[in-house]
Amino acid sequence: MSSGKFRQIVGLVVLASLALSTYSCTVVSSNEEFFGSTTPPKQNIFRYVNGDEPQSLDPAMGNGQPEARLYMALYEGLVEYNPKTLAPEPALAERWHINNDSSEFTFHLRQNGRWSNGDPIDANDFVYSFRRALAKETASPNAYLAFYLRNAKAYNQEEVFVRDPHSGQFLLARDFVDDLPPDPISATPIDPAKPEYLPDPNEPKSDPDTAFHQQMHTPLRLTLPGDEKARAKRIDANPKLKAAVAGKEFVPVKAEDLGIETVDQYTVRLYMGQQAPFFLGLLAHQVFRLVPRQVVEQYGSAWTQPEHIVTCGPFRLKTWIPYDKLVLERDPMYWDAAAVKLDEIYFYPITDQTTTMNMYKVGELDAVYNHAVPNPWLHVMRSKRDYMDAVEAGIDYLIMNTTKPPLDNVKVRKAFNLAINKQAWAEWRRIVKPLTAFTPEGMFPGYPQPQGAEFNSAEARRLLGEAGYPVTQNADGSFSCSKFPVGQVEFIYNTQGSNKAVAEWMQAQWKQNLGITVGLRNMEWKTFLDARAKLEYKGFARGAWGADYMDPFTFLSLFYIGGENGTGWVDAKYIAMLDEANRTLDHKKRYELLAKAEAYMLDAQPVIPIATASVNWVKKPYVKGMYPNPASLYPWKYIYIERDQAKWDYSTPKLTAD
């Protein structure tokens, strides 16, 4: 073989290898501002990866984030989220007024609301949709959000009233139930002397009184389980109840008992079973959005098929090819169609992070879903201008079973809290920020959030000593705590993903700072949930909570009546503080009272706060009107493609109005 050929071939090989190697180095050091191409789409469309394929297009049924985003495009309700602050803004309701303790809401609907098939929208649609969402047959997974409505829970769980057949009187709840929230104004008879509504300059006269309105202004009725066996059990347990029930009949709670009323064709009134000042923000949730009555009644569960579906939001369904794409187009019947900027939205159901990010880089996508950016990429992605770095509406914490020793001693709990270095945790997880309180830091503008205890291992050891378990230091610098009943605590976690690594990390922290090795126990998901709910674990478990609405109460209510927190900690003073806050009309004062309650709860230490998450996604700089709000919910009608480069977003858009 001639040396010429040899040399040429070798040269080729060497060149190729060199080229590739230098290329791979230059790719990183090229220091692009943005991650990938920044060429806007030629048409006025928006292409988005939504995550998984949506389970259902029925707004009462879907439970995941991909569905939530779709519902916001297809359906509307009384109010809509503000794209930056998530505060409730007029949607199908033009204006509203609320009574003095936020237990009665009256909404005046706009008269030009239309379905996508041209039918007009009026108050009856709301009554139908709310009743349907709460009906037991619908089995909506989000129905619990509407339980603030009067009789909503009773209707949903098919409970019964207790009525005297002769007098027609119903038994009242406050006579038989102990831990009820205090009666709201709307549960007391109407007193013309007491103005119930805040004075509203638009409404010179108050809304018409109706028989239903009168009826809603009676004390809450007692409800008992609809199932005979459960009911009998409940009655037998309470002798006073048993006596009172004798001779009475049981009347099932019907849809008509639900606290919602059409005052006239374009006025809806809602009645709460308790004071709920945050409820207005909750009304933007998908479970409160409208469904088309005629279509649902005609086609049943098939009403969401593309050939039948009728929607009322800014967009309507154009195409749906499962596992390929879902295309929405602007709905000309929408009442605010003139304000909708996009012509079409493309939703791609891709779950693979690499595929998503590659498509984004090339410019086939304009934005990606929250947490689409893989964790190992963050140290490079963080510096890109199209990376959205903002606080997320969720918290991570450890719950403790406060009913069993040794964790029933608050000093022990505090010690374990002080022994976890949350800063180190945040560094390890990369997309979280350390949390010392119970509400995410910076999420509620104007909320005077309490600080909570910072990491302090010396103090932790001291407290543990005070509690009767002294910690001694060994020769090599490590600690040991021989008196601590290690067998009485353990850390339970469910076998999935990185939970084991998390458990081990916590274990390592306590070992390092307290000298105590907490045993780990894994269990299957369902068993884990049960153990937490029924307080059948000893020691620690992981907990997490995402906000249902933008108010601190969504987190603090975990320790309110009926809150399922898995710690067994219940404090009447705390509950009273929360009630007082919810009764307060002044927003600022209310926040202060809530903060006080939170500080009180943190001091009692039923949980160990760990971290609050950050949002973690990218969008192209030419996408405007899309903000990294804590819930990652985007009212699609505000999004538009900006073609003037000077007006692009060159950093995370601010969430404050300015």
Interacting residues with other proteins (CB under 8 A): 1-6, 8-10, 12-13, 16-17, 20-21, 23-25, 27-29, 36-37, 39, 323, 352, 354-355, 357-359, 361-364, 374, 376-377, 379-381, 427-428, 495-496, 524-525
- Backbone dihedral angles phi then psi of residue 480, each to the nearest 5 degrees: -145, 150
Whole-number Cα distances in Å, 143 to 2, 58, 221, 285: 82, 13, 21, 11
Which residue carries 């001694």 as its tokens? 472
Burial-class residue 612 by CB neighbours within 10 Å (0-12, 13-18, 19+).
buried
- Least distance to other proteins from the beta carbon of 655, Å? 28
Distance of CA 43 to the CA centre of its chain: 34
- Least distance to other proteins from the beta carbon of 624, Å? 22
- Least distance to other proteins from the beta carbon of 39, Å? 8
- Least distance to other proteins from the beta carbon of 495, Å? 7
Closer of 378 and 486 to other proteins (Cβ): 378
- Least distance to other proteins from the beta carbon of 397, Å? 22
Closer of 26 and 167 to other proteins (Cβ): 26
- As given in the structure block, the two tokens for residue 580 are 């007082």
- Least distance to other proteins from the beta carbon of 478, Å? 17
Closer of 8 and 472 to other proteins (Cβ): 8
Closer of 320 and 634 to other proteins (Cβ): 320
Whole-number Cα distances in Å, 623 to 349, 449, 577, 641, 642: 20, 33, 44, 5, 6
Q: Which regions of 452-532 does DSSP assign to beta strands (E)? A: 472-473, 479-480, 490-494, 519-523
Which residue carries 């947490």 as its tokens? 371
- Least distance to other proteins from the beta carbon of 368, Å? 13
Q: CB under 8 Å to 133, separation ≥6 — which residues?
A: 60, 140, 142, 143, 146, 287, 288
**Three-state SS at 576:** helix
Closer of 25 and 339 to other proteins (Cβ): 25
Which residue carries 């000893």 as its tokens? 538
- Least distance to other proteins from the beta carbon of 376, Å? 4
Burial-class residue 436 by CB neighbours within 10 Å (0-12, 13-18, 19+).
buried
CB 323 within 8 A of CB 158: no
Residue 285: which of 504, 88, 151, 2 has the closest Cα?
A: 88
* 623-624 vs 617-618, strand pairing mode: unpaired
- Least distance to other proteins from the beta carbon of 421, Å? 12
- Backbone dihedral angles phi then psi of residue 272, each to the nearest 5 degrees: -95, 155
Q: CB under 8 Å to 594, separation ≥6 — which residues?
A: 447, 552, 553, 556, 578, 581
Closer of 21 and 214 to other proteins (Cβ): 21
Closer of 214 and 355 to other proteins (Cβ): 355
Closer of 23 and 658 to other proteins (Cβ): 23
Residue 183: which of 193, 192, 191, 172 has the closest Cα?
A: 172
CB 105 within 8 A of CB 79: no
- Least distance to other proteins from the beta carbon of 309, Å? 22
Closer of 234 and 430 to other proteins (Cβ): 430
- Least distance to other proteins from the beta carbon of 5, Å? 4
Closer of 37 and 305 to other proteins (Cβ): 37
Whole-number Cα distances in Å, 190 to 97, 173, 210, 577: 17, 19, 12, 27
- Least distance to other proteins from the beta carbon of 317, Å? 21
Distance of CA 114 to the CA centre of its chain: 29
CB 183 within 8 A of CB 233: no
- Least distance to other proteins from the beta carbon of 14, Å? 10
C-alpha distance across the termini of the chain, in Å:
76
- Least distance to other proteins from the beta carbon of 28, Å? 5
Closer of 528 and 537 to other proteins (Cβ): 528
- Least distance to other proteins from the beta carbon of 43, Å? 16
- Least distance to other proteins from the beta carbon of 10, Å? 6
Closer of 112 and 478 to other proteins (Cβ): 478
CB 592 within 8 A of CB 446: no
Closer of 87 and 424 to other proteins (Cβ): 424
Closer of 23 and 202 to other proteins (Cβ): 23
Closer of 428 and 588 to other proteins (Cβ): 428
CA distance 416 to 195: 51
CB 44 within 8 A of CB 28: no
CA distance 248 to 255: 22
DSSP H helices, 161-254, are: 173-176, 211-216, 228-237, 239-245
* 315-321 vs 325-330, strand pairing mode: antiparallel
Whole-number Cα distances in Å, 51 to 33, 350, 581: 26, 5, 38
What amino acid is encoded at 625 in this protein? G
User: 10 Å Cβ neighbour count for 219?
Assistant: 14
Closer of 231 and 361 to other proteins (Cβ): 361
